Structure 1
Amino acid sequence: MEFGGGDEIRFERRGVAGVVTLTRSKALNALTHGMIRALAKALAAWEQDKAVALVVMKAEGRAFCAGGDLAHAYDGMRTGNPPLDFFADEYRLNAALARFPKPCVSLIDGIVMGGGVGVSCHGSHRVMTEKALFAMPEVGIGFFPDVGASFLLSRLKRSFGMYLGLTGTRIRAGDACRAGIATHVVSSASLDEILEGLCKGTSPDRVLRPFASRPDCETDEGTLFAIARLFSRDRLDDLLLGLRQARDEGEAIADSALAAIEKASPTSVAVAFREINTGAMLEMDDCMRMEFRILNRMLAGHDFPEGIRAVIIDKDGAPKWRPPSLAELSEPAVDAYFAPLPGGDLEV
């Protein structure tokens, strides 16, 4: 079926299912603007097509989708042409997926990060295999957890979403299932049979039930309890103080979490903390409007291009953040990221 996207994304009708396959495997299926626009067109068409009962999303290669095309974003920021249209269309797509009225089944059989989370984890069924690897690592590149992360992470129990957003920690299917990110965990070897059943029109729950398992969490209960205690704070200063005290008392999770936070952009950490707390009180569309406000300021700032440079372009792993510490970051500076946009908020 022709919705655009060239050879980066494929659309098919199989039985009653509209099937989307991300085909940029050499680039870990990183999203391009063409892929986003094509997927938005397909969803709009399939929503109105009575012959399409559900949508299935999958990918080729070892990644479902590792995020957006950061090199392209970097080039745009460096040349004075920040990719606002890319992000605006991506955020509209995330919102459309969240309110899509038909079942949307994501078959996540590999890496899913950043923008990949946005196109897979807002649908009705998030199916992960033993190969799945989930993360929102944006604070480490001077950005913030976007693509609806303010909605998704804020709703995970026991402050697990705050932990993931501030540290960029990678988790497997067991932890993702316990947290509610994944709705089902299946074997990678069963995906073809699952897809066949979905295309026949059997309800997704009925198709998935015989293949689904309840894997053990990769993170033990004691660590989960510590995360809940340490990351449930109303103020970032209190959270960091608690982590330092727990580290000094020998808690391993506090040591690793604090190390990740202290390496990340101070601005990104502060913005992410407020964003996730605020997102808990907002519906998805309002979360996307808030994220677009933040996005505009991030694209015009220093840390996002500097983070991409250090991690993706030069790969020296030594970003120079401005300001270099949370102590030098003022409250008004953080407030500015959440202020209304002069030209009006994103229309979703």
Structure 2
Amino acid sequence: PQLWVISPLVNIENMSSQVESGVLLEKVGRVGVITMNRPKVLNALNLTMIRQIYPQLKKWDGDSETDMVIIKGTGGKAFCAGGDIRADTGKAGSSLSEIFFREEYILNNAIGTCRKPYIAIIDGITMGGGVGLSVHGRFRVATEKTMFAMPETAIGLFPDVGGGHFLPRLRGKLGLFLALTGFRLKGRDVMRAGVATHFVESKKVPEMENELVDLKSPSTENISKLLDSYQDQSQLDAEKPFVLESHISDIDRLFSSSSVEGIVGNLRADGSEFANKQLETLSKMSPTSLKITHKQLQYGASLSLQDVLVMEYRLSQACMRGCDFYEGVRAVLVDKDQNPKWNPSSLEEVSDQSVEKCFSSLGQKDLIL
């Protein structure tokens, strides 16, 4: 969670005059290349960047001169560590959170529906908003530097940017486990979990990019073969088992419940070291966020990406109306005391009715895709 980035979002009125190149958009041969370019803040995604990427992606997608799109980050530490959200986003009188989430989710959908092969090179920290820029694309290449997490329940939010679509589609209850606990996956494990499609050592990435640009017939199949060949050359950590391998059956058993209280009950009754560790983690999270997230993944398992994003937009606005998000940002990012005072403070106090209300239509303000 501490990798969520906080800095002032650009004032919308005079944005055009102060656009920095937070994202570089270029054409290399017949390949559209998007480079996240804010290394000092771990390439955090802000509204300016969303407004640069979206029209360019749509143009490349409909353009006969473009064969594929590659997205990557600069600085060597992060692909994109999350959304750039400041503490007062969405407080009374601010429409910024409405706009930010709306435009971010529209971009996530454009990536998910992109007809051209879309290749995300997730070399480094990939969290929250960075997951939304990568996971819905056709190819996601992890390296030994990749660190993936959806840590939103720790700041009073939920794993958005389409998390309700891809997380329940991971094997068994793995997605729910990652969503509730914010567990961090690293390197090859990001691929083993099913979040990335390939694992390539980071020193081989520049050569791989050059070969992608040089592909004479860049069909999905040929791109897939090329990425497979780079994965075959990458033996780093190949002998190490998946970090959660010995716990997969525990996760499936312990996280199978129709309620968060049920999961907590399972963990308590189990009493193993692994179960106790997850209990401790969950006890620090926003109870409201945990309940919203559980239902989000339950619903999302049978919805299209578009319907999930519409649902998540409703949830984002419910979180902006509540108090846990501001308290989470304060505790994790502003005061950094890591001691949020959640309200309600226990799962029992979060009523099913209040959770259900978060999913209700916003009428004319609903997200339209």
2:285 equivalent among 264, 279, 304: 264
Give the alignment's TM-score, normalised by structure 1. 0.94
Structure-1 separation of matches of 2:72 and 2:244: 30
- Counterpart of 1:245 in structure 2 is 269
How far 1:342 sits from its partner (Å)? 3.2
Query: Does the residue aligned with 1:157 lie in a helix, a strand or coil?
Result: coil
Which residue number in structure 2 is paired with residue 306 of structure 1? 327
**Paired AA for residue 212 in structure 1:** Q
Which residue of structure 2 aligns with residue 285 of structure 1? 306
Q: How does 1:81-92 map to 2 (within 5 A)?
A: 81-82=94-95, 83-92=97-106
> What SS does the corresponding residue of 1:316 show, helix, strand or coil?
coil
Q: Provide the rounded CA distance (Å) in 2 between the counterparts of 1:143 and 1:209.
A: 36
Specify the alignment match of 2:68 in structure 1: 54
Aligned-partner Cα distance in 2 for 1:296–1:8: 26
Q: Which amino acid aligns with 2:83?
A: G
> Aligned partners of 1:166 and 1:119: how far apart in 2?
21
SS at match of 1:107: strand
Show the 5 A alignment for 1:136-215: 136-201=150-215, 202=218, 203-213=222-232, 215=238
AA of the residue aligned to 1:174: R
Asked if the contact 1:64/1:112 (under 8 Å) is kept, the reply is yes
1:69 correspondence with 2:80: no
Alignment of 1:324-343 (within 5 A): 324-343=345-364
- 1:77 is paired with a residue whose SS is coil
Indicate if the aligned counterparts of 1:143 and 1:298 stay in contact, CA closer than 8 A: yes
* CA apart distance, 1:95: 0.9
Report if aligned partners of 1:158, 1:232 keep a CA contact under 8 Å in 2: no
Distance in 2 (CA, whole Å) between partners of 1:79 and 1:343 is 19
Structure 1 residues 4-43: Cα deviation after superposition (integer angstroms, max 9, x where no partner): 9631000111111101100100000000101011110111
Looking at structure 2, the residues matched to 197 and 211 of structure 1 have their Cα atoms a distance apart, in angstroms, of 10
2:148 maps to which residue? 134
How many residues of Structure 1 are paired with residues of Structure 2 in the alignment?
A: 341
Q: After superposition, what is the alpha-carbon deviation per residue over 1:80-139, rounded to whole angstroms, capped at 9, x for unaligned?
A: 314210110000111111111110001111000000000011100000000000000000
Bigger drift between 92-101 and 253-262 goes to 253-262
| Separation in 1, partners of 2:102, 2:258 | 30
| Shift in CA distance, 319/123, structure 1 to aligned 2, threshold 3 Å | same
Query: In the aligned structure 2, how far is the partner of 1:102 from the partner of 1:310?
Result: 41
The 8 Å contact of residues 107 and 126 in structure 1, kept in 2 or not, is answered as yes
How far residue 78 of structure 1 moved from its aligned partner, in angstroms, is 4.0
Query: 2:122·2:140 contact (CA, 8 Å) conserved in 1?
Result: yes
Q: Is the 8 A contact 1:294 1:337 kept in 2?
A: yes
CA RMSD in angstroms comes to 1.6
Structure 1: distance between partners of 2:261 and 2:255:
11
Identity, % of aligned positions? 40
Q: Partner letter of residue 82 of structure 2?
A: G
Q: Following TM superposition, by how much is the alpha carbon of 1:152 offset from its aligned partner in structure 2, in angstroms?
A: 0.8
CA distance in 2, matches of 1:198, 1:158: 34
Q: Say if 1:229 and 1:44 are closer, same or farther in 2 by CA, change over 3 A.
A: same
How far, CA to CA, are the matches of 2:88 and 2:156 in structure 1? 16
Pair 1:293–1:305, CA change in 2 (3 A)? same
Maintained 8 Å contact 1:150/1:279: yes
Aligned to 2:117: 103
In structure 1, the gaps of 5 or more residues are none
